[in-house]
Chain A
Amino acid sequence: MSATQTRHPGLNLGSNHQSADDRAETEVFGFWVFMMSDAILFGLLMATYVVMRPNTNGGPGPHDLFELKSIFIETMLLLASSVAIGFSHLALKHEDRPTKMVIWLVVAMALALAFVGFEIHDFLKMAGKGGVPQASGFLSAFFALVPLHGLHVSAACLWGLAILGQLARYGLDDGVKVSMVRLAVLWHFLDLVWIGIFSLVYIGGLA
């Protein structure tokens, strides 16, 4: 494959990393396809939520449970972590040594974990007001969707840790590079999903 050939657009490694870039050709494309399938998953859960929103079963509704302030903080944290993963990816592409990549990755993970922390705090607060999934169809749909996203974010952090472990063990080899690209794709994807959740679940719920 020649370096001038058009690759998948967006996140890529560039010709400085020829062998890793060749691998990314298939592996990152495959990951994009996987994300498409995952997007269907989230899309359907969002649709289910929209259908179920009126079914509060006499229990607490969106206005009783959602607090925009902490949702706003969460959104900012997640967006910032996406920016950080973007920097991490740029460092991977253009720097010879992995130091900056690691730093930005750690920052992204810290921000994402803070997001998860806030989210758990929200859930507990909701539960305190009777907002548990068993209370109504509305809350069931909420808890099927939103924590799944949080779980994805936590899994992405775990994956980040695993990549750091590989880096420590093998240095910046092709495996680490390609994994980093895929992780970045996942990270941005989760950000997009959150935008969907933010608008549909929270803003839509309060509207």
Chain B
Amino acid sequence: MTDWGFPFGRLTLDAIPLSDIVTAHGRTELLSGITGSAAAGAAVLGALVALVIVTWKGWWKPLWSDWLTSVDHKKIGIMYIVFSFVMLARALAEAFVMRMQQVVGHDGGGIVMPEHFAQLFSTHGTIMIFFMAMPFLTGMINYVMPLQIGARDVAFPVLNSVSLMLTVAGGIILMVSLVLEPFSTGGWSGYPPYTEAAFNPGAGPDYWIWAVTLSSLGTTFTGINFAVTIYKKRCPGMTLMRMPLFTWTALCTSILMIFAMPPLTIATALLALDRYLDFHLFTNGGGGNMMNYANLFWLFGHPEVYILILPAFGVWSEVFSTFSGKTLYGYTALVIATMAIAVLSFTVWVHHFFTMGQSANLNAAFGIATMLIGVPTGVKIYDWMLTMYRGRVRISVPMLYALAFLFLFTIGGLSGILLANPTIDYQTHNTLFLVAHFHNMLIPGLLFGMIAGYTMWFPKAFGFRLDEKWGYRAAWCWIFGFMGAFFPLYALGLMGMPRRMADYFTGAWLPWTVVALAGAGLIVLAFTFLLVQLRVSVRDRARLAVPVGDPWDGRSLEWGLPAPPPEWNFPALPRVEGRDAFATLKMTGEDLGPPDDGYEDIRMPKNAVLGPVIGALGTGLAFALTWYLWWLALPLAALVPVVLIAQGFRRDTEKVIPAHEVRETWRAFRALAARTPRVSRRAEYTRDNRGHAIPMPQEAAE
């Protein structure tokens, strides 16, 4: 052990994408090198521009003390979502390149080499799941859930910041892998023995292992944090069966995180042992058994898809009831269905490898279990439809997504029921049929849900609505773009086109891939429209302002707070008398009034540097381990316990917000509300909507 890997470990000039251009033979290799270099260039340029802007504007200090070290759940939530938007941009670009390749790559050749294509689907999948979807929903829960249960923060605010920074660390590792290649070619699931050192000795799988491990640790802590918050931090009167449905889904997702992330941590850690220390857990020889990996990974992987979809179901529940002006239909049924899905999600993992050699009886059992999940999900769909029934439905932007969701998600669900039948799965597994199925769940279900939630809660977080015109444009492009990009994949799958394939010689596939490319183009447009919408809304924020904080005639507690809410959320912990807490208050003409027993000093957690420090250590450690920089890895690893122990010695962790400050802020808000006219739902999308709603029953009575 004299080789400390000083200074560069196994990092050589080959790692820079430009070297692919220099060494290229032939057109495809050259184009592939150019594509890779352009992506790396964009990443470097993006980072540089960000640095320059922050320096230019003198934002380093506010960035550090108002954001990075902040432990305020609202700011952490916003940071999560910003991060996930950045990662979404990259993963979308990669998806577009892949769709392009499958058009120009028919008859061989194309714009990316097979190796490069493999990196694209691996990073695309890994990013979309771990660094887009997970941060998006975690950010959404972070922002909304404590407000909905009448809490001032999550149970462990510093841990919350650590979770964020661990996730970001994983994302940084993925971005670094663009510039110092290669990333893994093993897909988002990283199956050994292909990812073992024997077949893949390079840095790729190691990047993947550490990025995913960082994210899974962060997510485990998030799950613990949210679950404890919901169990212990609800305000008086907020019994479990009075919680808004979004909070219920947050609880179920947290429980799934607590139990489903450890299998992933184990899977990646054991794979690392195989690769770094020559263990024989999943190897071909030496008594290893890759089925261990398949089981561990999908023991995580299937609950994971419900971690992803349940919070979106929560958003849908809020959207349907808010924009129908009605209480949620079948609240109890929805709670039970959510819990049922959470439990069942642990009983179906084998459906991800029906073809890997277990007995037909076992497959049948898991197939039936899988189909069972359709039952609670169906209950939900009916509950949402019945929520609209006889409501005053407004086709707002979130509602447009919701309606598209109802149709498209059902189609995706039906294709899932088909796949749950092992005999059919034998025909379709590993084809684009499967890719169509899971995108059909993930995009209309999860991603539309997140965008709908973003549209609905944005005014709460920033004090102004998102411009509706661009909102509709983006929504229509998402909807039709999705259909264009993925419905052809069902056909291609049935025609036998395998997934993860860079080029092919079957002419009949070409027309369908062209349609899919057009759809992907529309999706890129949709994403661009979201960015335009943000830009336009910031510009027109005076026209769109909703300072009173209730632009949609909302039903749960968060809508009773100013937009944006003060750091301490509630001047006094509210007392809840029933479901739809804020809607009930509004009807009695109360709103969230002044606290009964006067204002008191509020204790809030102080900023903490632990999160950014752990994030930096995690990033450095992952990088050092990937490139065999042992001289760096060792001290960084040793610093982790030191930092944790130092955190234990912190005592001065709270600050006091004096009662008079709380009183003044709150009185100013109530005065503003009193002089702002209430608006009816007809005026929802006009500049008259300042966030002071006439409650729907009153409006209907008039």
B279 at the interface (CB under 8 A from A): yes
- Whether B231 contacts A29 by the Cβ 8 Å rule is yes
B273 at the interface (CB under 8 A from A): yes
Question: Which 9 A/B pairs are nearest by Cβ-Cβ distance?
Answer: A137-B287, A55-B287, A57-B287, A140-B279, A40-B262, A136-B287, A30-B228, A134-B278, A162-B645
A37 at the interface (CB under 8 A from B): yes
Chain B neighbourhood of A135, CB < 8 A = 286
The contact string, 1 if C-beta is below 8 Å from chain B, for chain A 62-74, is 0000000000000
- Whether B296 contacts A37 by the Cβ 8 Å rule is no
Chain A neighbourhood of B262, CB < 8 A = 37-38, 40-41, 44
Given A136-B286, A166-B649, also A29-B261 (CB < 8 A): no
Sampled A-B contacts (17; CB under 8 Å)? A30-B224, A30-B228, A36-B259, A38-B262, A40-B259, A40-B263, A41-B266, A44-B266, A51-B289, A134-B286, A137-B286, A138-B287, A140-B279, A141-B281, A155-B641, A162-B648, A175-B651
Given A37-B259, A55-B289, A57-B287, also A143-B279 (CB < 8 A): yes
Question: Which single residue of chain B is at the shortest CB-CB distance from A51?
Answer: B292
Known: A134-B280, A140-B273, A162-B649. 6 other contacts (CB 8 A): A26-B228, A33-B258, A140-B279, A158-B645, A175-B651, A179-B648
Question: Which single residue of chain A is at the shortest CB-CB distance from B277?
Answer: A133
Question: Which single residue of chain A is at the shortest CB-CB distance from B278?
Answer: A134
A52 at the interface (CB under 8 A from B): yes
The contact string, 1 if C-beta is below 8 Å from chain A, for chain B 244-265, is 0000000000000011011101
The contact string, 1 if C-beta is below 8 Å from chain B, for chain A 13-31, is 0000000000001110110
- Whether A34 contacts B224 by the Cβ 8 Å rule is yes
Distance A162 CA – B231 CA, assembled complex (angstroms):
29
Chain A neighbourhood of B274, CB < 8 A = 140
Distance of A126 from chain B, by nearest CB (Å): 15
- Whether B228 contacts A55 by the Cβ 8 Å rule is no
- Whether A48 contacts B278 by the Cβ 8 Å rule is no
Distance A89 CA – B70 CA, assembled complex (angstroms):
34
Chain B neighbourhood of A155, CB < 8 A = 641
Chain A neighbourhood of B689, CB < 8 A = none
- Whether B228 contacts A33 by the Cβ 8 Å rule is yes
- Whether B277 contacts A37 by the Cβ 8 Å rule is no
Distance of B347 from chain A, by nearest CB (Å): 16
Distance of A55 from chain B, by nearest CB (Å): 3
Question: Which single residue of chain A is at the shortest CB-CB distance from B653?
Answer: A175
B232 at the interface (CB under 8 A from A): yes
Contact of A134 among B232, B233, B279, B289 (CB under 8 A): B279
Given A44-B263, A137-B286, A173-B651, also A33-B227 (CB < 8 A): yes
Chain A neighbourhood of B259, CB < 8 A = 36-37, 40
- Whether B292 contacts A48 by the Cβ 8 Å rule is yes
Chain A neighbourhood of B279, CB < 8 A = 133-134, 140, 143-144
Distance of B253 from chain A, by nearest CB (Å): 14
A204 at the interface (CB under 8 A from B): no
Report which residue of A27, A30, A57, A166 has the largest number of chain B beta carbons within 10 angstroms of its beta carbon. A30
B220 at the interface (CB under 8 A from A): yes
- Whether B648 contacts A144 by the Cβ 8 Å rule is no
Distance A25 CA – B233 CA, assembled complex (angstroms):
11
- Whether A55 contacts B263 by the Cβ 8 Å rule is no
Distance of B67 from chain A, by nearest CB (Å): 25
Given A29-B232, A41-B266, also A137-B289 (CB < 8 A): yes
A165 at the interface (CB under 8 A from B): yes
Chain B neighbourhood of A27, CB < 8 A = 156
Chain A neighbourhood of B651, CB < 8 A = 170, 173, 175
- Whether A45 contacts B266 by the Cβ 8 Å rule is yes
The contact string, 1 if C-beta is below 8 Å from chain B, for chain A 143-186, is 11000000000010010001101100110010100010000000
Chain B neighbourhood of A25, CB < 8 A = 232
Chain B neighbourhood of A38, CB < 8 A = 262
The contact string, 1 if C-beta is below 8 Å from chain A, for chain B 216-255, is 0000100111011001110000000000000000000000
A56 at the interface (CB under 8 A from B): yes
Chain B neighbourhood of A48, CB < 8 A = 266, 270, 281, 292, 296
**Which residues of B line the A interface, CB within 8 A?**
155-156, 220, 223-225, 227-228, 231-233, 258-259, 261-263, 265-266, 269-270, 273-274, 277-281, 285-289, 292, 296, 299, 641, 645, 648-649, 651
Given A40-B262, A133-B277, also A26-B292 (CB < 8 A): no
- Whether B258 contacts A57 by the Cβ 8 Å rule is no
Distance of B665 from chain A, by nearest CB (Å): 27
Chain A neighbourhood of B277, CB < 8 A = 133-134
Chain B neighbourhood of A52, CB < 8 A = 281, 287, 289, 292
Distance of A193 from chain B, by nearest CB (Å): 14
Distance of B653 from chain A, by nearest CB (Å): 9
Question: Which single residue of chain A is at the shortest CB-CB distance from B155?
Answer: A26
- Whether A169 contacts B258 by the Cβ 8 Å rule is no
Distance A50 CA – B289 CA, assembled complex (angstroms):
12
Question: Which single residue of chain A is at the shortest CB-CB distance from B225?
Answer: A30
- Whether B280 contacts A29 by the Cβ 8 Å rule is no
Distance of B610 from chain A, by nearest CB (Å): 15
Chain B neighbourhood of A33, CB < 8 A = 224, 227-228, 258
Chain A neighbourhood of B261, CB < 8 A = 37
- Whether B649 contacts A37 by the Cβ 8 Å rule is no
Distance of B250 from chain A, by nearest CB (Å): 15
Chain B neighbourhood of A26, CB < 8 A = 155, 228, 232-233
Question: Which single residue of chain B is at the shortest CB-CB distance from A165?
Answer: B649
Question: Which single residue of chain B is at the shortest CB-CB distance from A133?
Answer: B279
- Whether B273 contacts A144 by the Cβ 8 Å rule is yes
- Whether A41 contacts B265 by the Cβ 8 Å rule is yes
Chain A neighbourhood of B156, CB < 8 A = 27, 30
Distance of A57 from chain B, by nearest CB (Å): 4
Chain A neighbourhood of B287, CB < 8 A = 52, 55-57, 136-138, 140
Question: Which single residue of chain B is at the shortest CB-CB distance from A44?
Answer: B266
The contact string, 1 if C-beta is below 8 Å from chain B, for chain A 91-134, is 00000000000000000000000000000000000000000011
Question: Which single residue of chain B is at the shortest CB-CB distance from A170?
Answer: B651
- Whether B155 contacts A30 by the Cβ 8 Å rule is yes
Question: Which single residue of chain B is at the shortest CB-CB distance from A48?
Answer: B292
Chain B neighbourhood of A175, CB < 8 A = 648, 651
Question: Which single residue of chain B is at the shortest CB-CB distance from A40?
Answer: B262
Chain B neighbourhood of A144, CB < 8 A = 269-270, 273, 279, 281
Distance A56 CA – B299 CA, assembled complex (angstroms):
26
Question: Which single residue of chain A is at the shortest CB-CB distance from B159?
Answer: A30
- Whether A55 contacts B645 by the Cβ 8 Å rule is no
Distance A41 CA – B648 CA, assembled complex (angstroms):
25
Report which residue of A48, A51, A170, A173 has the largest number of chain B beta carbons within 10 angstroms of its beta carbon. A48
Chain A neighbourhood of B258, CB < 8 A = 33, 36-37
Report which residue of A25, A27, A41 has the largest number of chain B beta carbons within 10 angstroms of its beta carbon. A41
Distance of B299 from chain A, by nearest CB (Å): 8
Chain B neighbourhood of A173, CB < 8 A = 651
Distance of B553 from chain A, by nearest CB (Å): 34
Distance of A192 from chain B, by nearest CB (Å): 16
- Whether A140 contacts B288 by the Cβ 8 Å rule is yes
Chain B neighbourhood of A179, CB < 8 A = 648
- Whether A137 contacts B288 by the Cβ 8 Å rule is yes
Question: Which single residue of chain A is at the shortest CB-CB distance from B270?
Answer: A144
Contact of B281 among A29, A140, A165, A166 (CB under 8 A): A140
Distance A56 CA – B651 CA, assembled complex (angstroms):
52
- Whether A158 contacts B296 by the Cβ 8 Å rule is no
Question: Which single residue of chain B is at the shortest CB-CB distance from A143?
Answer: B279
Distance A53 CA – B274 CA, assembled complex (angstroms):
17
